[in-house]
Amino acid sequence: MDVIESMKKEMIRRKLSHRTIKTYLFYVRKFLLFCKKDPKEFSKKDIRDFLYKFMENEKAGNSINVALNSLRFMMEEVLRKNMRLGIRYSKTPKSKPTFLTKEEVKKIISVINNDKHKLIVQLMYGAGLRVSEVVKLKVNDVLLDENIGWVRKGKGNKDRPFIIPICLKEQIKILIENNKLYLFPGNKKSHLTAKSVQCIVKKATKLAGIKKNVHPHTFRHSFATHVLEEGNDVTAVQSLLGHNEPRTTLEYIHVVKPKMLSIKSPLDNL
Q: Can you give the pLDDT at residue 261?
A: 41
Q: Can you give the pLDDT at residue 94?
A: 58
160 included as an active-site residue: no
**Global pTM exceeds 0.75:** no
Same-domain pairing of 239 and 136: yes
Q: 88 in a domain, yes or no?
A: no
Q: How many CA atoms lie within 13 A of 103 on its CB side?
A: 2
Identify the active-site residue in 117, 220, 221, 226.
Answer: 220
Identify the active-site residue in 155, 160, 169, 215.
Answer: 155
Same-domain pairing of 134 and 230: yes
Q: Can you give the pLDDT at residue 270?
A: 43
| Three-state DSSP class for residue 113 | coil
* CATH code (residue 54): 1.10.150.130
User: How many domains would you assign to the chain?
Assistant: 2
Same-domain pairing of 250 and 215: yes
Q: Can you give the pLDDT at residue 44?
A: 86
The last residue of one of the domains, among 45, 78, 111, is 78
* CATH code (residue 239): 1.10.443.10
Q: Can you give the pLDDT at residue 91?
A: 57
155 included as an active-site residue: yes
| Three-state DSSP class for residue 90 | coil
226 included as an active-site residue: no
In which domain, by residue range, is 206 found? 102-260
Residues of the chain under the 70 pLDDT cut: 57-61, 85-97, 154-156, 232-240, 242-270
Identify the active-site residue in 136, 191, 226, 243.
Answer: 243
252 included as an active-site residue: yes
Identify the active-site residue in 8, 117, 130, 191.
Answer: 130
Angle (nearest 5°) at CA 181 between 176 and 187? 110
60: left (phi over 0), alpha (psi -120 to 50) or beta: beta
Identify the active-site residue in 48, 107, 169, 217.
Answer: 217
Q: 83 in a domain, yes or no?
A: no
Q: Can you give the pLDDT at residue 106?
A: 94
Give per-residue burial for 65-100: e unless 16+ CB within 10 Å, then b: ebbbebbebbbeebbeeeeeeeeeebeeeeeebebb
Tell me the per-residue pLDDT of 121-176, one tens digit each, with 9 for 90 and over.
999 999 889 899 999 999 999 999 888 888 887 666 778 888 889 999 999 999 99
Q: Can you give the pLDDT at residue 204?
A: 96
Same-domain pairing of 191 and 118: yes
